[in-house]
């Protein structure tokens, strides 16, 4: 595999610059190693000290880690706290007038709120939710555009102990319905429309459609934030955000919850058709968010202007937009639009405009901006930047180098952060003042994170050889369970083959002679398209739900910008279409998947066959399909195929 080979031959190493190391929160390899040693010699004491040092507890905890119900681990569980208090109230005395959020709207207009103002808005909205009968433990779906209000909605839920489940605004009504139904949500918070690249995306309309799809009697109210002023239908359960919030008191006593109280559920794709409701805790999650901000982003709350481009619909937007930066009292930019609207320099213009110091984005965005050339960033003053981060998918060394040199001017460390929805916060990433970086490697685990690579039985793997990426000890920010499905939680993440207590990440990786981790890709049927996780089974289920389709198989193919592209092999109920008819059906099926899941899941390519290649036992030969999608020579034995002629059909993409 070309990408893996090029990574294997990567030998460039970038030690931290002296000036950066001197001012860093963790300085030098000895600083990093000292923290790792503390964790190794007294694992619980290490985490307990950090939890006491960084979190304001209403009631201090006396128990650190409870492993008695493994793998259902508990951290700090007799302690009580509130995340919204930790993100807002505790900063009011010292930095009430400091800017908390700089909202950069799609059209470039800017709105800022201070900590005092954000606190007042969160309290008003929390009081509003309470007035609707939302209580501790109730689920609230947030289906919102990037906005100050989205952060307010999440923080307001945290304030009253309600469990939010944010659904990315790009997901379809059908996906939204499935999440409403699974979470049994009491309230939905949405907007009339979101604006992306000058286009309106109807959110309220999708909510109306979702609510008509089945039994949604659990939903008592739909709160609508007026973003665009576009036309929307109005029903009995609907009410305007401003009407709900503006008359409420600007203070609201936080609900103090156990550290183990669920803060949120976030649905993500797995290897079956049904998305998994990843459930996070309060105390352990907050600790992971804070430590990684300090360690990996080297956060300097008094001088940084931090910008993470992720949408709050993804885990990155939870930990590194809605919670992490606020828990440290930082100033952060939140961005509604897309990187290239209204012009291709939008990202760099925004960095210059707000004097951003810390910039965190996905490799797919970097790769698409590289295509536009290096002259573009050169037109903007990027000298405020001091640290760059990437997340979501492997970054190819060439893109890493461009990011480091053209955007970072060779002076900013690049932190490639490996983690997942399930881990809640960074797991493997360089501490930028300590760990030398290598383009394409996420480097070394954070202190206290016992990451390793094993074979399928949990045994060791020789250096340089690929294996399963695992985490061998429980850590505070890990998911606690899958909402309503503890069995699937145990089987997916703590399989018996690995002893039942080791966290299986679902990625393969190898380590080099310096112990550095190199992520190779997923080991399950999960694709990573533009940094978004998509289950092949999910897309297959969506395709076969179309009345024309008899069978479908979906695989990934390397893609220059998106990382992976979605290739679907489809058998129709009628005859195999060709020419114009094939084109028409491709367009129809792509739209269909867009409606079933969301536009991000639309296949890039659809190929039709009279059948799919299967083994004697009827299993689809996916490896063969992956090879065909890449245009590789077929070296596998295909003599057992019923109809080898279909391979020729499947080599043809509909143009
Ligand atoms: O395959 C890994 C890839 O993204 C997966 C997690 O996806 P998700 O839960 O949506 O979270 C994305 C944001 C944290 C992982 O299993 N991945 C994430 N970060 C990296 C990565 N692959 C390589 N390098 C990374 N830095």
What are the CA-CA distances from residue 21 to residues 285, 307, 436 (Å)? 28, 22, 11
Q: Which atom of ligand 1 is nearest to the CA of 421?
A: 9
Nearest CA to ligand 1 atom 19: 392
Which phi and psi (to 5°) does residue 99 adopt?
A: -70, 130
| Beta carbon of 425 within 6 Å of any ligand 1 atom | no
Q: How far is the CA of 392 from the centre of ligand 1 (A)?
A: 4
Q: 186 CA to middle of ligand 1, Å?
A: 31
Q: Is the pLDDT of residue 11 over 90?
A: no
- Kindly state if the Cβ of 511 falls inside 6 Å of ligand 1: no
pLDDT in tens, 197-254: 999 999 999 999 999 999 999 999 999 999 999 999 999 999 999 999 999 999 999 9
Q: Give ipTM to 2 decimals.
A: 0.99
Mean pLDDT score across all residues of the chain: 95
- In short, whether 415's Cβ falls inside 6 Å of ligand 1 is no
**Which residue lies with its CA nearest to atom 14 of ligand 1?**
420
- Position 3 scores a pLDDT of 38
Look at residue 10 and tell me whether its pLDDT is greater than 90: no
Please give the distance, rounded to the nearest whole angstrom, from the Cα atom of residue 313 to the centre of ligand 1: 15
pLDDT score for 633: 85
331-377 pLDDT per residue, tens? 999 999 999 999 999 999 999 999 999 999 999 999 999 999 999 99
Q: Is residue 394 lining ligand 1, measured as CB closer than 6 Å?
A: yes
pLDDT the model gives residue 48? 98
Question: Which atom of ligand 1 is nearest to 416's Cα?
Answer: 26
Full 3-state SS string of 93-139:
HHHCCCEEEEEECCCCCEEEEEHHHHHHHHHHHHHHHHHCCCCCCCE
Q: How far apart are CA 448 and CA 433, in angstroms?
A: 18
**Against a cut of 0.80, is the pTM above it?**
yes
Say how far apart CA 428 and CA 510 lie, in whole Å: 13
Structure tokens of 550? Answer: 């008899």
Residue 399 exposure: Cα atoms within 13 Å on the Cβ side? 28
pLDDT score of 119? 98
Residue 122 annotated in ligand binding: no
User: Tokens 């992971």 appear where?
Assistant: 288
Q: What is the residue with the minimal CA distance to atom 21 of ligand 1?
A: 393
Structure tokens at 194: 């979101």
Summarised one tens digit per residue, pLDDT across range 378-426 is 999 999 999 999 999 999 999 999 999 999 999 999 999 999 999 999 9
pLDDT class of 9 with cuts at 50, 70, 90? low
- The response to whether 420 counts as a known ligand-binding position is yes
Task: Reduce the secondary structure of 475-506 to three states and give it as a string.
Answer: CCCCCCEECCCHHHHHHHHCCHHHCCCCEEEE
Give the list of residues 6+ apart from residue 483 with CB closer than 8 angstroms, or none: 182, 183, 265, 277, 278, 279
Cα-to-centroid distance, 528 and ligand 1 (Å): 8
Best substitution site from 308, 366, 418 to test ligand 1's pocket, by max atoms within 8 Å of Cβ?
A: 418
Q: What ligand 1 atom has the least distance to the C-alpha of 417?
A: 26
> DSSP label at 259?
T
- Decide if pLDDT at 1 tops 90: no
Whole-number Å distance, alpha carbon 519 to ligand 1 midpoint, is: 9
Kindly report whether the peptide bond that precedes residue 374 is cis, defined as omega within 30 degrees of 0. no
Ligand 1 near 419 CB (within 6 A): yes
Give pLDDT, residue 168: 97
- pLDDT 10s digits, 241-299: 999 999 999 999 999 999 999 999 999 998 877 899 999 999 999 999 999 999 999 99
- Other beta carbons less than 10 A from residue 574's beta carbon: 8
504 lines ligand 1 (CB under 6 A): no
Whether pLDDT at 444 is above 60: yes
State the pLDDT at residue 5. Answer: 41
What confidence tens digit (pLDDT) does each residue in 476-518 have? 999 999 999 999 999 999 999 999 999 999 999 999 999 999 9
Q: Is 644 known as a binding-site position?
A: no
114 annotated to a ligand binding site: no
* CB 364 less than 6 A from any atom of ligand 1: no
């Amino acid at each position: 595999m070309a990408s893996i080979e090029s990574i294997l031959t990567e030998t460039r190493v970038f030690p931290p610059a002296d000036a950066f190391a001197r001012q860093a929160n963790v300085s030098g390899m000895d600083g990093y190693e000292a923290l790792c040693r503390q964790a190794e010699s007294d694992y619980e004491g290490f985490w307990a000290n950090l939890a006491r040092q960084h979190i304001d507890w209403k009631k201090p905890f006396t128990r650190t880690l409870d492993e008695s119900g493994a793998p259902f681990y508990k951290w700090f569980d007799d302690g009580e706290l509130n995340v919204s208090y930790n993100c807002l109230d505790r900063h009011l005395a010292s930095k009430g007038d400091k800017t908390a959020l700089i909202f950069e709207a799609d059209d470039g207009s800017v709105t800022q709120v201070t900590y005092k103002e954000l606190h007042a808005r969160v309290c008003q909205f929390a009081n509003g939710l309470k007035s609707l009968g939302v209580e501790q433990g109730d689920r609230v779906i947030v289906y919102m555009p990037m906005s100050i209000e989205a952060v307010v909605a999440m923080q307001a839920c945290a304030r009253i102990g309600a469990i939010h489940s944010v659904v990315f605004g790009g997901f379809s009504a059908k996906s939204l319905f499935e999440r409403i139904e699974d979470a049994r949500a009491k309230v939905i918070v949405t907007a009339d429309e979101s604006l992306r690249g000058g286009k309106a995306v109807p959110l309220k309309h999708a909510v109306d459609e979702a609510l008509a799809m089945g039994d949604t009697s659990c939903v008592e109210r739909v709160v609508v934030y007026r973003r665009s002023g576009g036309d929307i239908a109005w029903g009995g359960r609907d009410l305007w955000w401003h009407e709900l919030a503006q008359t409420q008191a600007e203070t609201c006593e936080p609900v103090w919850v156990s550290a183990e109280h669920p803060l949120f559920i976030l649905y993500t794709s797995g290897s079956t058709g049904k998305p998994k409701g990843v459930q996070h805790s309060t105390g352990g999650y907050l600790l992971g968010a804070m430590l990684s901000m300090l360690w990996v982003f080297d956060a300097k709350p008094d001088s940084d202007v931090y910008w993470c481009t992720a949408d709050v619909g993804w885990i990155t937007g939870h930990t590194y937009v809605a919670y992490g930066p606020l828990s440290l009292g930082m100033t952060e930019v939140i961005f509604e639009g897309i990187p290239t609207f209204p012009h291709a320099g939008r990202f760099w213009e925004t960095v210059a405009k707000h004097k951003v110091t810390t910039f965190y984005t996905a490799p797919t965005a970097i790769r698409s901006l590289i295509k536009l050339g290096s002259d573009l960033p050169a037109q903007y003053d990027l000298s405020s930047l001091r640290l760059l981060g990437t997340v979501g998918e492997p970054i190819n060394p060439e893109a890493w180098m461009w990011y480091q040199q053209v955007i970072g001017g060779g002076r900013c460390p690049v932190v490639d952060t490996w983690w997942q929805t399930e881990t809640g916060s960074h797991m493997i990433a360089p501490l930028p003042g300590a760990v030398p970086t290598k383009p394409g490697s996420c480097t070394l685990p954070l202190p206290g994170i016992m990451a390793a690579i094993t074979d399928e039985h949990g045994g060791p793997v020789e250096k340089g050889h690929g294996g399963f990426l695992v985490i061998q000890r429980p850590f505070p920010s890990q998911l606690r369970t899958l909402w309503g499905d503890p069995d699937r939680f145990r089987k997916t993440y703590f399989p018996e083959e690995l002893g039942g207590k080791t966290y299986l990440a679902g990625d393969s990786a190898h380590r080099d002679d310096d112990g550095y981790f190199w992520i190779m890709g997923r080991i399950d049927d999960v694709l990573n398209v533009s940094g978004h996780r998509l289950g092949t089974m999910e897309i297959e289920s969506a395709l076969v739900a179309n009345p024309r389709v008899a069978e479908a198989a979906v695989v990934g193919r390397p893609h220059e910008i998106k990382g992976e592209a979605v290739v679907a092999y489809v058998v129709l109920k009628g005859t195999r279409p060709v020419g114009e008819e094939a084109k028409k059906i491709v367009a129809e099926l792509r739209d269909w998947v867009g409606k079933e899941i969301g536009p991000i899941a639309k296949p890039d390519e659809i190929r039709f066959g009279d059948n799919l290649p299967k083994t004697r036992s009827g299993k689809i030969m996916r490896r063969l399909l992956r090879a065909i999608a890449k245009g590789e020579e077929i070296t596998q034995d295909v003599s057992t195929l019923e109809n080898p002629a279909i391979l020729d059909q499947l080599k043809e993409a509909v143009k």
